[in-house]
Structure 1
């Protein structure tokens, strides 16, 4: 599905075009009307209307596995999702099985900043309510550690990334 078209290079984002939500809804419906959806991976949504459209579709279609890799900022720091769109995320997050933010995205989602470990522990508390059906949260940035949180546990685990 095309949810946004981004013109960028190694120096930064030059332009972002978010197609109308009706186009996204048509894309989603075209797929789910034709095949059984086994899994969904969500990346950049780009607008409040896109978040709402995907949320409604997920509630209707109910795919067995939903992964959300929230693309909120470019690597050069440009915001790719309006702040007001984050207000719609509770409904979207309730459909998610696996959330894979990087640290800046996690900080944006939880609206808190701090050291790595504290940030992750606060995020786990915050996400516990939002991700009622989620089994796992994985957070990693660059070549740093990959942190796992599992539903029903109070401990965080850190795993160094393999450098294969």
Structure 2
């Protein structure tokens, strides 16, 4: 049991990690939205917007990295199930004056288990990719506030977070 009295579903009777059996759960439509920020100097953000980075236009690379990451989540996170993603969208918005890039990933699937980890992994890898693409210009870039914003579907229902 966990501190809140719920069964620890990822542990067997001997306390060993296991993958949860979701075979009896119904297939439902599921959506997860995650978000993260990459904080940099306004001058770096302007170069990003202008496509003036040493490695070129970062936006398509960041989006593709996020999509690929969502598809590979069960390879990266040991107890995640493979899910049939029907779509992954990665959006990148830049506040050049504030030096903040917001990355939002939306994952959609019809499956037996949630896809929050796919959306969170997409944001995380997209942010790491952006970091890699701007580090030649600025060394003290920060990745912050990676979090789940919304999920729909499944037994636990919908969740909207501020």
Q: Which TM-score bucket, shorter chain as reference? A: under 0.3
Q: Say which one has the larger Rg.
A: 2
Which has the larger share of helix? 1
- Would you tell me which structure has more strand in proportion to its own residues? 2
The alignment's TM-score, normalised by the length of structure 2, stands at 0.23
The higher relative CO (CA closer than 8 Å, separation ≥ 6) is in: 2
TM-score normalised by the chain length of structure 1: 0.23
